[in-house]
Each structure stands twice: as C-alpha cells, then as structure tokens.
Homo-oligomer: A and B are copies of this chain.
Amino acid sequence: MSDPSQPVTRKTQQRDAIRKAFVDASRPLGPQEVLDLALESVPGLGIATVYRTLKKFLRDGVLQIVELPGAPNRYELTGLDHHHHFCCRACDRVFDVDGCPEQVADLAPAGFELEAHEVVLYGVCSSCTANG
C-alpha cells in the first residue's frame, strides 16, 4: 500500500477539505471550483495546493480526470458506475448523467478498434432553467 518512492502521506486540513468538496458536490469539479468550495473549510487555501492535491489524488486513484471538449479538465471521484456528462451553458457546471446509448459501440467504422467513448450533453441545467 505504501510506495517507497513517494514520501509518507500526512493527513491535513487542506486535503480533507478538497476531498470533502468532491463528496459534497457529487459532480465533476475544476481546480477553481475546488478552491472555491474548499475555501469554506480552510480559509487561506491556495490554488497551488489544490493543483498539488488533485495530482496526488489522481496518483492515489481517488480522483480521475474528466476531459470535456473545449473546456479545462474537471476531476471526479473514482468508483462511479459508467456514466456521461451534461455541461450547463449558463453556469458552466458539469453534471453526471446516468446511462449510456448502447448503439455507441456500433458507430465505429469497419477496421477501427473501439476502446472507449465519451458522450457529452450540452444545454441548461434545472436550476438555471428555473432562475434564468
């Protein structure tokens, strides 16, 4: 479990706050969003620590990257069921979407080896629809 090439991990307020941000949000978060949310728990938290922690959580398998077209990377907790994402064009937040169109696997041209796929929905989320 311990990797001798990595220093011993300590438990810190900052890391707890960052982990908590993901658990509470239940949606993919970008670095700035993580900072904004975690600042509520740890005033003074810096963006550098957010980036460092995201990187560490990736290494540790706590988080995984969510890449979206034309947008900076988001991060989400690992271990979720296969799902896709909805980007709200009004608030720029990203939400999880359950399910997956089965025919996706049939789209690949003949002779192409399909290894993975992404489905990204765009529109307006329910809270923006209500408030907008």
Contact = CB atoms under 8 A, between A and B. Distances in A.
A100 B104 CA distance: 8
A112 B123 contact: yes
A50 to B, nearest CB: 19
Interface size classification for chain A:
35 or more
A30 B107 CA distance: 23
Contacts of A68: 69
Interface stretch (A33-41, A51-59, A113-121): A113-121
A122 B112 CA distance: 9
A70 interface: yes
A125 interface: yes
B113 A124 contact: yes
